[in-house]
């Protein structure tokens, strides 16, 4: 992965679990420490449209041709709207990396999923994403690349594209950004 590779960082915004039906999701196009663009879409809270919405987001973007990887803050957006990282990678033909600070507790996730609209499908997507792997201080699940390539991508970008997406999404919805991704 070259230092000047264009990477898309994605995160969702904070949302009210009682009233938010659609949740703002922001993408930051980042290259060599510079924000080249910001993209956005909305995904259904606890729904099943995140993968399609992210595909549409990239497909309609003028940055599509230059993207070399996608980093997502977790495989879930808007509550339990689970991103099919394998499908996203396959359709867009680039690596997709889900990154989180703490290793997901799959027992707790499965327990929470029991209340989801389509437990079997959600569980299948989580399992299909693979077991989270420790890379530096983070845990990743990935598709469209091997672990060595994922490590190279993260050496080039760190978490900065995702962190910026988090800050922008939070600032738009709350009026001011706060917290860590």
Residue 82 lies in a domain: yes
**131-159 residue pLDDT tens:** 899 998 999 999 999 999 999 999 989 99
Does residue 71 belong to any structural domain of this protein? yes
Q: Do residues 37 and 63 lie in contact, with contact meaning Cβ atoms separated by under 8 Å?
A: yes
pTM, to two decimals? 0.91
In a domain, 66, yes or no: yes
> What range defines the domain where residue 35 resides?
6-174
Specify the number of domains making up the chain: 1
Q: What confidence score (pLDDT) does residue 108 get?
A: 80
Residue 6 DSSP SS3: strand
Helix (H) or strand (E) holding 55: helix 50-59
pLDDT, tens digit, 9 for 90 and up, residues 92-138: 999 999 999 888 777 787 777 776 667 778 888 888 898 899 998 99
Averaged pLDDT for residues 63-86:
94
Kindly state whether residue 179 falls inside one of the protein's structural domains.
no
Is residue 1 a part of any domain in this protein? no
* Ramachandran area for residue 7 (φ above 0: left; ψ -120 to 50: alpha; else beta): beta
Residue 46 is assigned to a structural domain of this protein: yes
Is the residue at 58 inside a domain? yes
Q: How many CB atoms lie within 10 A of CB 12?
A: 27
125: CATH: 3.30.2170.10
Taking Cα atoms as reference points, which of 56, 69, 85 lies closest to residue 29? 69
pLDDT, position 1: 56
């Amino acid at each position: 992965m070259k230092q000047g590779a264009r990477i898309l960082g994605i995160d969702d915004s904070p949302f009210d679990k009682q009233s938010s039906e659609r949740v703002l999701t922001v993408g930051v196009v980042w290259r060599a420490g510079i924000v080249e663009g910001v993209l956005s879409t909305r995904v259904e809270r606890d729904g099943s449209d995140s993968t399609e919405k992210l595909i549409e987001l990239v497909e309609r973007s003028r940055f599509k041709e230059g993207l070399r990887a996608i980093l997502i803050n977790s495989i879930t957006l808007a509550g339990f709207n689970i991103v099919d990282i394998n499908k996203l990678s396959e359709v867009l033909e680039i690596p997709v990396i889900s990154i989180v600070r703490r290793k997901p507790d799959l027992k707790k996730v499965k327990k929470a999923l029991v209340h989801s609209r389509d437990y079997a499908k959600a569980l299948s997507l989580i399992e299909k994403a693979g077991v989270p792997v420790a890379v530096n201080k983070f845990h990743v699940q990935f598709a469209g690349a091997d672990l060595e390539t994922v490590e190279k991508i993260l050496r080039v970008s760190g978490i900065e594209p995702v962190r910026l997406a988090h800050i922008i999404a939070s600032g738009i919805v709350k009026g001011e950004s706060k917290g860590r991704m």
